[in-house]
Amino acid sequence: EVVALMSDNGAGKSSLVKTICGVYAPDGGSITFDGQDIGGLDPREVQALGIETVYQDLALAPELDTPANLFLGRERLRSGVLGRLGVLDSRSMLAEARRLLTDLNVAIKDLRAPVAALSGGQRQSVAVARAVTWGDRLVIMDEPTAALGVPQTRAVLDLIRVVRDSGRSVLLISHSVPDVLAVADRVEVLRLGRRVARLDGRNTTEEQIVGAMTGAFEQEDAA
């Protein structure tokens, strides 16, 4: 499912994401994933559980091409002596990148072009594709449409649906109510650092979400 985490600015969305990912250590409570407490894990240990994050800055290497970014930090080496010498298997990474992007319905004409030459929506798609490549359980997306125009936003929302339909869970961090209503199965609303509402994304309204974000509406059992 796609779970949207919404709040006004400063309510703790990004801090919560970084705590889930192991960047911040929680000072209380617990974080449970598939029955396991992951609150004390570091980022690599969290990634080993199949959890990947797409941050707002995307964390792409702009001068590298799409395959190099998809395999950044996890590069494939040639077999035999060449691999022991650190020679990359560029052909294998290119083929895998092409297959993955096709599966995600992502259209990038020249995979060898540096990602700096791609549109904002295409760069976002590369970042999401990298997360999907390594995050086979949960993909966290932090404001994926914040800097995009209407056509690019539509493409990213379509990609979120594809990721969900591939069997992965998606945690969508957003303050855009229309985007959330377009893709979310469940909506969790934070206000002043705590949850104030849990809503069915398919049967909620913009007024309910905004009311929860501003304090006009709060569920008694939300916390």
Tell me the mean pLDDT per 10 residues along the chain, length 223. 88 84 89 90 93 88 95 90 88 93 88 94 89 90 84 88 93 92 94 88 92 79 58
pLDDT of 126 reads 92
Query: Do 69 and 54 touch, CB atoms closer than 8 A?
Result: no
- Predicted TM-score (pTM) of the model is 0.85
* Strand 51-54 with 36-37, pairing: unpaired
**Which two structure tokens, joined as six digits, stand for 15?**
């801090």
Residue with tokens 């990609």: 159
What is residue 223's predicted lDDT score, i.e. its pLDDT? 55
- Please name the helix (run of DSSP H) or strand (run of DSSP E) that holds residue 187, with its range, or none: strand 186-191
Amino acid at residue number 188: E
Q: Where are the domains of the chain?
A: 2-214
pLDDT value, residue 137: 93
Q: Is 123 strand, coil or helix?
A: helix
- Give the N- to C-terminal CA distance of the chain in Å, as an integer: 21
- Of the candidate CATH numbers 3.40.50.970, 1.20.1740.10, 3.40.50.850, 3.40.50.300, the domain formed by 2-214 belongs to 3.40.50.300
Q: For position 182, what pLDDT does the model report?
A: 95
- Look at residue 109 in the predicted model and tell me its pLDDT: 92
Dmax (CA) for the chain in angstroms is 66
CA atoms within 13 A on the CB side of 217: 15
Query: So what's the pLDDT on residue 87?
Result: 87
